[in-house]
Amino acid sequence: MTKLWKCQKCGRKFEKKNQMHSCTIYPVEKHFKGKEEMKPLYNKLKEKIKKNVGSFWVESLPCCIHLVTAPAYTFAAVYALRDRIRMHFGLDYKLESSRIDKFSQYSANRYMYSIDIKSEKEIDRELLSWLRQAYNLKHGV
């Protein structure tokens, strides 16, 4: 397994030594300030991903919460909103689904998607399979 470089200042792990990044540490709790009701949904989401997709760790940045897997690949980003959790993830093909709020083509074979999750039942097999594909992309790139 690739040995990761760990930033001594913020503790984030990267594949490349001295990778440029922001060292700002932003606690997860701050993302949920005033949005505490969404915390159980976020926890459920993490639990289901761990169980159905694979292990990962969380990097809480000022912009959003990154879900990262080894070696140091962010396969999804989570945003806490007042009444929902917004999630961004990337796939290598164009996905057609009414559940996707928006997508952008990032590069020739990378599409970024945004999906809103309002309840636990929306963390279903379909969503988890997309996340599994996003998670596994690290092997292909």
For position 9 contacting Zn ion by CB under 5 A, the verdict is yes
For position 10 contacting Zn ion by CB under 5 A, the verdict is yes
Rank residues 7 and 112 by Cβ distance to Zn ion and give the closer one: 7
Rank residues 10 and 137 by Cβ distance to Zn ion and give the closer one: 10
Residue 36: closest CA among 76, 68, 83, 73: 83
**Window contacting Zn ion (CB under 5 A); options: 16-24, 96-104, 113-121, 125-133:** 16-24
For position 23 contacting Zn ion by CB under 5 A, the verdict is yes
Burial 116-137 (b: 16+ CB within 10 A, else e): ebeeeebbeeebbebbbbbbeb
Quote the longest CA-to-CA distance of the chain: 43
Rank residues 9 and 50 by Cβ distance to Zn ion and give the closer one: 9
**Window contacting Zn ion (CB under 5 A); options: 15-23, 44-52, 59-67, 73-81:** 15-23
Shortest separation between residue 106's beta carbon and Zn ion, angstroms:
24
Tokens representing 125 are: 């097999």
**Window contacting Zn ion (CB under 5 A); options: 22-30, 68-76, 82-90, 104-112:** 22-30
Decide: helix, strand or coil at residue 48: helix
Burial 14-38 (b: 16+ CB within 10 A, else e): beeeeeeeeeeebeeeebeeebeeb
What does the binding site for Zn ion look like in residue numbers (CB under 5 A)?
7, 9-10, 23
